[in-house]
Amino acid sequence: MVDKLYQLTAHELHDLISKKEVSCRDVTESVLDRIRSVDDRVKCYVTVTDELALAQADNVDKQIAAGEPLLPLAGIPFALKDNMCTRGVLTTCSSKILHNFKPVYDATVVERIVNNGGVIIGKTNLDEFAMGSSTENSAFFTTRNPWDIDRVPGGSSGGSTAAVAADEAVIALGSDTGGSIRQPAAFCGVVGFKPTYGRVSRYGLIAFASSLDQIGPITKDVTDCALAMNLIAGKDFCDSTSLDVPVPDYTKSLIPDAKGIKIGVPTDFFGQGVEPEIVNSVMKAVEVLKDLGAEYKETSMKMVDYGLPTYYIIAPAEASSNLARYDGVRFGLRSDDSKDPITMFLKTREEGFGPEVKQRIMIGTYALSAGYYDAYYLKAQKVRTLIRQDFERLFEEFDVLVAPTSPTVAFKVGERAADPFQMKLADVLTIPANMAGIPAISIPCGYADGLPIGLQIIGKSLDEATILRVAYAFEQATDYHKRKPEI
Ligand code: GLN
């Protein structure tokens, strides 16, 4: 048997499983052992579903033994951000308010993974309700960056991302509302993909900002990202915002060159306090793509500056509405020593939500209140249209845009926790794609003082295939994705 199965990618494991060199149980056990040996330091998981995972793995092994065709994700261990519903398994959103919440149904993505042979290995830590950029807003604990245990993994999908980087999962799913897949992927040196809004069903994803939320894969390489996309993308009648358009086989777009690709480099993405090493790495990456046959040109996108302020009206507004459902009545925490229902609602929300979530509910409620709606929410929606149009203008000329994912590398735990503005600046380069609803990926493109740097590739609406092609070409020509942190 091959040792260190947990270090392999999904496509490498698929080969071994198809040749019957290893069983699905071997793979699952290897990843569970890895979790046991490092998760006390990295702290990715809120819940490890070991029994469920082994039962699922055995089930797939039985299908293989019975000669059934090998499913695309047969025996691949998946981690899920803990804002995705799993039937009968604790789902916390890393919040006290969902105390003991066990959903009665699986999110569509979970169903699709399991139906394709995948194994659910556990639920990962996040900033409470996905609000944050470091996992420090989790009500439970802070996840650590596998490259430096004193640093944050980014957020809000920090648990899922650190799990892939630390080989505690083969593939993970995260959600990206303003950057929560890409920014942690950049901090942890892995691949993180936010598909077009509506490409992947949100059914069973606990809502933060419904017009922005999108589920996507976090993987060790671009091939695994394409494999995961093949299975999670597509129309779902349970989510009316999911798009009814054909899903291509993304693995077909993995060509190791970038011939004929027109790349735009919007200089405005480089002026947002981006560290010089990051500018260097990203520009070097652009040169690599040029050597692979792409053409590139510097361009400008002035609306980048408006992404962050607009986001911090729209996202809290939607959050304040979505989070109104946590009132102690139907699920989760209930403050039990209240004399009347109103006091019960108030005390439950007071005790159950952390400070960041409360702040956003207040901002959102304010922005939506009579008299302010036009000045804030409506105005922000108009600016959002302008951001989308600015992207559309660029995509008349370019196939993809290339930029840094984050202005900085991973920061120290505690360094920004006391300064909410600095924390929010972590997403200044990822938010624009969410505002426009367009797809974007982060892949590793360098290291500064041993800490990973992320390259962001932004594409046209529904053109995930071109992004994956460019990302794959870059990956094949470099070896940044092969480095592993020492934990
Ligand atoms: N960091 C951003 C926020 O706190 C984005 C979060 C996300 O994408 N879920 O809102």
- Selected catalytic residue, list 30, 95, 134, 156: 156
- CATH number of the CATH domain containing 177: 3.90.1300.10
Please state the atom number of ligand 1 nearest to the C-alpha of residue 312. Answer: 10
239-255: b (≥16 Cβ within 10 Å) or e:
beebbeeebbebbebbe
| C-alpha 426 to ligand 1 mean position (Å) | 9
CA gyration radius, the chain: 21
The residues pairing with 97 across neighbouring beta strands, listed in sequence order, are none
Mean pLDDT, range 95-120, rounded to an integer: 98
- Assess if residue 335 is contained within a domain: no
- Selected catalytic residue, list 81, 123, 194, 424: 81
Put simply, whether the predicted model's pTM sits higher than 0.95 gets the answer yes
pLDDT at 337 over 90: no
- Assess if residue 13 is contained within a domain: yes
- Selected catalytic residue, list 95, 180, 281, 320: 180
Q: What pLDDT score does 84 carry?
A: 98
pLDDT tens for 179-216 read: 999 999 999 999 999 999 999 999 999 999 999 999 99
Is 180 a residue of the active site? yes
In sequence order, what E strands does 236-354 have?
Answer: 262-266, 295-299
Is 253 a residue of the active site? no
Whether 316 is in the pocket of ligand 1, judged by its Cβ within 6 Å, is: no
Atom 10 of ligand 1: nearest residue by CA position: 131
| C-alpha 5 to ligand 1 mean position (Å) | 33
Q: What pLDDT score does 422 carry?
A: 87
- Assess if residue 378 is contained within a domain: no
Cβ atoms within 10 A of the Cβ of 421, count? 8
- Say how far residue 300 (Cα) sits from the centre of its chain: 27
Domain count, the chain: 1
Whether 135 is in the pocket of ligand 1, judged by its Cβ within 6 Å, is: no
CA angle, residues 442, 193, 241, in degrees to nearest 5? 145
User: What is the pairing mode between strands 171-175 and 191-194?
Assistant: unpaired
- Assess if residue 119 is contained within a domain: yes
| C-alpha 397 to ligand 1 mean position (Å) | 30
261-274: b (≥16 Cβ within 10 Å) or e:
bebbbbebbbebeb
Q: What pLDDT score does 3 carry?
A: 62
What percent of the chain is predicted at pLDDT more than 70?
Answer: 99
| C-alpha 53 to ligand 1 mean position (Å) | 29
Query: 7-16, 146-155, 324-333: which has the minimum mean pLDDT?
Result: 324-333
Mutate to test the pocket of ligand 1, among 81, 133, 210 (most ligand atoms within 8 A of CB): 133
- Assess if residue 299 is contained within a domain: no
Mean pLDDT, range 157-174, rounded to an integer: 98
The residues pairing with 402 across neighbouring beta strands, listed in sequence order, are 457
Residue type at 367 in one-letter notation: A
In 3D, which of 286, 288, 291, 292 has the Cα closest to residue 263?
286
| C-alpha 30 to ligand 1 mean position (Å) | 32
Is 81 a residue of the active site? yes
**Which one-letter DSSP state was computed for residue 301?**
-
Burial degree of 65 (CB within 10 A; 0-12, 13-18, 19+): exposed
**Mean pLDDT score of the chain, rounded to an integer?**
97
Mutate to test the pocket of ligand 1, among 427, 431, 434 (most ligand atoms within 8 A of CB): 427
Mutate to test the pocket of ligand 1, among 82, 126, 127, 320 (most ligand atoms within 8 A of CB): 127
- Assess if residue 225 is contained within a domain: yes
pLDDT tens for 9-25 read: 999 999 999 999 999 99
- Could you give the CA distance from residue 194 to residue 215 in angstroms, rounded to a whole number? 7
pLDDT tens for 404-445 read: 999 999 999 999 988 888 899 999 999 999 999 999 999 999
Mean pLDDT, range 386-411, rounded to an integer: 98
Token output for 437: 């609803």
Whether 406 is in the pocket of ligand 1, judged by its Cβ within 6 Å, is: no
Please state the atom number of ligand 1 nearest to the C-alpha of residue 356. Answer: 4
Whether 174 is in the pocket of ligand 1, judged by its Cβ within 6 Å, is: no
What percent of the chain is predicted at pLDDT more than 90?
Answer: 95
pLDDT tens for 285-321 read: 999 999 999 999 999 999 999 999 999 999 999 999 9
Mean pLDDT, range 153-159, rounded to an integer: 98
pLDDT tens for 238-284 read: 999 999 999 999 999 999 999 999 999 999 999 878 999 999 999 99
Q: What pLDDT score does 473 carry?
A: 98
Kindly indicate the confidence band of residue 461, based on its pLDDT and cuts at 50, 70 and 90: very high
Task: Name the residue with higher pLDDT: 397 or 422.
Answer: 397
Please state the atom number of ligand 1 nearest to the C-alpha of residue 176. Answer: 8
Cβ atoms within 10 A of the Cβ of 375, count? 11
Q: What pLDDT score does 338 carry?
A: 86
pLDDT at 1 over 60: no
The residues pairing with 453 across neighbouring beta strands, listed in sequence order, are 446
Please state the atom number of ligand 1 nearest to the C-alpha of residue 434. Answer: 8
pLDDT tens for 59-71 read: 999 999 999 999 9
Q: What pLDDT score does 419 carry?
A: 87
- Assess if residue 234 is contained within a domain: yes
Query: Where in the sequence is the domain holding 203, given as residue range(s)?
Result: 5-264+401-482
- Assess if residue 357 is contained within a domain: no
